Every structure is written in C-alpha cells, then in structure tokens.
Amino acid sequence: MQTKFSESTVGGARTVIDITVHFEHLKRAAASLFEKGSAGQRGYFTPSEDENVRQLLVSYWQSRNALIELVVTMHRTSELTETTKTISSEQRAAGFLVAWTGALVLVDAARFLRDNCRDRPAILKKLNEAEPSFGIAPGTYDRIQSSLTSPVHAWHLYHAREYWKTNRNVLAKITHDTELEPLVEISRRMQTVLDVDIQEYAISRLRTRARQAKTAGRDLMARALFGLQKAVSSLVSGKYTHLGHQPRLPPDIVKKLRQLIQPGDIFVNRKEYAVTNYFLPGFWPHAAFYIGQTNQLDQMGFASHPHGKPRWQHILTCDRCDSGRVVEALKDGVRIRSLSSPFAADAVTVIRPNLPNDLITEAIARALFHDGKPYDFDFDLTRSDRLVCTEVVYRSFEGLAGIRFPLTQRAGRMTLSAQDLLQMALNRRHFDIIAVYAPNYAPALTTGSAAADVLQTTLTD
C-alpha cells in the first residue's frame, strides 16, 4: 500500500519543487544581466539594471532562507524518531529526501552565482551592497558564499550524499506516484553539485573529528539529516538559528485568544530564531487571516459557496483536533490551515477590520479563492498568481467599505509588510488592535489601550 506522508513533508516537497522552478527563472534573469556588454564589462550598473539586480537578490535571499528553514525543520523528524520511535522508516526517508533535495537546490543556486560572478568585480560589488528596506547588511553575499569553500561544510554534506547514493532506488520506490516523486528526479539531476573533493574531505575530517563523538550514536539516516542541518545552518547568522527551539504560544495565551477572536481577524506573529525572519523588515514579519470555526463557516454558507464548496472537505478535515481555520501563505503556498499554524509562534498580535458581517463574509470568500496558489518569493503585490502572507489580507479586504492599503516600494517592488498592517491599526485606519502578546515587552496578553502601547514599543524599539 502506498505510504501517506505527513502534511509537513508534503508541504516541504511543494516548497522545494516550487523554489527549484523559481531558481531556474532567477538564473535566466541573472544570466541576462551578467552577459557581455552589460554592467560586468562596463564596470557599473545603470539605474534600471541596479533595480533589476536588487529585485533578483531579494527574491534569491527569501527563497534561499525558506529552503534553509525547511532543511532544519526536516532534521527534527530524525530527533523525534530517536526519542519516541513513532515515525516509520518511510516517513523518515521522505523527510530526508525533502531536506536533501532542498540542500542540493541551495548549493546549485549558490554555485551558479559564484561561477558567474567571481571574475566580475562590478557585479560582486553590487551583490555585496546593502538593502536597508529588507535588512540586508553590506557584505552579505561574500559571507554567505564563503561557506561553499569550507571543508567542514563539505564534510557535513558527505553523509547525506552517501545516504542518497545508497538509498536512491528505495526513495524512488516509496515516493512513486506521490507529490514527492519529482524530488527524486531533481536530486538525480543535481547530485553532482555536491561531489566532495578528496582533499577537502581529508582536511575536514581532521577538523571535525571532535564533532564526530556527538553523532557517533546516531544511525545513518540521523547522521545524514544532522549533516544537512549543520551545513545549511552555516549559511545564516546564529541570531536566526537555535536548534531545538519550537515556537509555541503558552496554553493560557491560546485559551484567551480563542475567546477573543472573530472571523475576519488578522494574526500578525513572530517566531524567534526563524530563518525566514532574515531579510524581512521589523519585529513582526508574518500575517494570517482567521476565517472562523468550521461551524461558523457552515453557517455563513461556505459549504455551498462557489469558493468554499470545492475546498469544503479540506476545510472540515485539515486538522481534526482544531476546528479553527486560517488562510495563510507560507513557503509551501497559500493554504487553508488550522489555528495551530499561527499559534506556533513566540509573539502574536490580533487586529480586526472595521466591517459589518456581510463584508467579512465577502473577505473570507475572496481569501478562499486564493487557496492553492504558490508563495511569491518576489514579494511583488502587483501580481496575483502568487501571494505573500500580507497579500492574502490585501486581496481579501482591499476596496471593501473603502479600505485602502499603503503599498510601499521596496527594492523595486510594491510591497505591504506585516508591520504596515500593524501601523494601520495603530493609526485606527480600517483596523483595530484586539490583543498583543509579546513576552519580551510584556509578560501577559494585553488588550485595549495597553495593547496599543505594547505594540507601539515593538515597532519603535
């Protein structure tokens, strides 16, 4: 019988497949910018070329960070198995395949940039420039690319490569005719990017011999996943990685939030140490649209609504332990999810639109229409075939009762950040602040004017 993989594994596969296609697009766009006769030969960038490079870089960094976070998350499958023994060998193998393919795509994209830019000083200088609106510091490109030449980096990837070579036929068999099947072909196509040089391998063994004691008790699968996780963790600042940290709101905060929220509310949250915070402005990076409990959605008529009926079974069953539903864009795309998703955070704010019930229903219908679309790593709100998290809110509420959102140009794209949404609520423009939980600023859930004070502090600190 065909193995049914977990939603997190299937979502991870969707992310890797989507970003693989996206990186190929970025490569073609970059190649056209790097071709002879352009900035590389001229020695400088025209204003239009400069804007194109910034757009490409922001898209690359965001896609890359999504893959890094994915690989780290898949590593937890191994940790869980070692302690509880509740995850099957097929599930573990699928988790490895997602992480392995994600790592291959990461290294392939990074080496493309290295091979096409290392002899072009003008391009390297441009890639290392800061982009303040996305929190990109000067010299970021050089710091990240340096990991590719690290012998320790090669050593960490070695075990993963060996596991793949030994088990690729098994992986192909268990993922046949599933959403994970394309990962096998991607891995076969890209496996040469991780060929480990013998000299680098020998050097790295000397440098990592002490570390081997920490992994000696792990099985081959665990060592492979551990190596992948350690390799990709080296690609980001320690500020954004904290192995073992699992964001989760305290139970008493969750209980109080459940009593407060209404359909139409917007969650804006933060996960500490999340790689996907990297290169996003401000303390609050993410938003999700709460559409209500399943019984409320039924009462609103979505079981038979044109946008609800095709999704109704998923709405009912996507999480049988939690009947609350959100429409949320994460790296695996725009999906209907349970409240367990926005509650998997370290800090949260709830804001509420100033709209009557009939327009809340209209906003929910609009949000459901976008379910299933891919994530937009270009952060471009002028397109609707791919959405970022705040764009779900934007496209659900824009124009209802005169609601208008302040789009801001960042790195050549029209954007709406989660902090822009919160500033609207602070200004009492179309949204009200319902509650804030930010333990670094206040120990308890705050509401009313106190919530506004805490929120203002998080935005200005």
Q: Are residues 207 and 301 in the same domain?
A: no
pLDDT in the model for residue 439: 96
Q: Are residues 285 and 186 in the same domain?
A: no
pLDDT in the model for residue 197: 45
3-state secondary structure of 285: coil
Q: Are residues 205 and 290 in the same domain?
A: no
Q: In the numeric block, which tokens belong to residue 313?
A: 């079974």
- Residues 367 and 450: beta-carbon distance below 8 Å: no
Q: Are residues 165 and 310 in the same domain?
A: no
Number of separate domains in the chain:
2
Q: Using CA atoms, how far apart are residues 387 and 371, in angstroms rounded to an integer? A: 10
Give the end-to-end CA distance of the chain in Å, rounded to a whole number.
Answer: 55
pLDDT along the chain (461 residues), means of 10: 78 94 89 65 73 81 84 60 56 90 87 79 81 76 69 69 89 93 93 56 47 51 71 58 78 97 97 70 90 98 97 95 96 96 96 98 98 91 92 97 90 86 96 97 94 95 77
DSSP letters spanning 402-430:
G-----EEETTEEE--HHHHHHHHHTTSS
Q: Using CA atoms, how far apart are residues 243 and 225, in angstroms rounded to an integer? A: 13
Q: Using CA atoms, how far apart are residues 381 and 362, in angstroms rounded to an integer? A: 20
Q: Are residues 230 and 255 in the same domain?
A: no
Q: Which residues contact 177 (CB under 8 A, 6 or more apart)?
A: 2
List 414's β-bridge partners, or say none.
409
Q: Is position 120 within any domain?
A: yes
Q: Are residues 77 and 164 in the same domain?
A: yes
Last residue of a domain, one of 238, 266, 298: 238
Exposed (0-12), middle (13-18) or buried (19+): which is 125, by Cβ within 10 Å? middle
Q: Are residues 229 and 322 in the same domain?
A: no
Provide the CATH number for the domain around residue 392: 3.90.1720.10
Q: Using CA atoms, how far apart are residues 188 and 169, in angstroms rounded to an integer? A: 11
Q: Are residues 305 and 190 in the same domain?
A: no
Looking at residue 240, what DSSP letter applies?
G
Q: Is position 246 within any domain?
A: no
Q: Is position 21 within any domain?
A: yes
Of 311, 338, 340, whose CA–CA distance to 326 is shortest? 338
Q: Is position 1 within any domain?
A: no
Q: Using CA atoms, how far apart are residues 55 and 49, in angstroms rounded to an integer? A: 10
Q: Which residues contact 10 (CB under 8 A, 6 or more apart)?
A: 179, 180
Q: In the numeric block, which tokens belong to residue 183?
A: 């990962």
pLDDT in the model for residue 6: 85
Q: Is position 148 within any domain?
A: yes
Distance of CA 262 to the CA centre of its chain: 26
Q: Are residues 228 and 255 in the same domain?
A: no
The CA-atom distances, in angstroms, between 47 and each of 44, 282, 348 are 10, 27, 39
Q: Are residues 80 and 41 in the same domain?
A: yes
Last residue of a domain, one of 238, 260, 275: 238
3-state secondary structure of 66: helix
pLDDT in the model for residue 222: 73
Domain that holds residue 452: 251-460
- Residues 271 and 241: beta-carbon distance below 8 Å: no
Q: Is position 332 within any domain?
A: yes
Q: Are residues 138 and 261 in the same domain?
A: no
| 0.85 surpassed by pTM | no
Q: Are residues 213 and 297 in the same domain?
A: no
Q: Is position 243 within any domain?
A: no
Last residue of a domain, one of 203, 238, 273: 238
Q: Is position 427 within any domain?
A: yes
pLDDT in the model for residue 48: 78
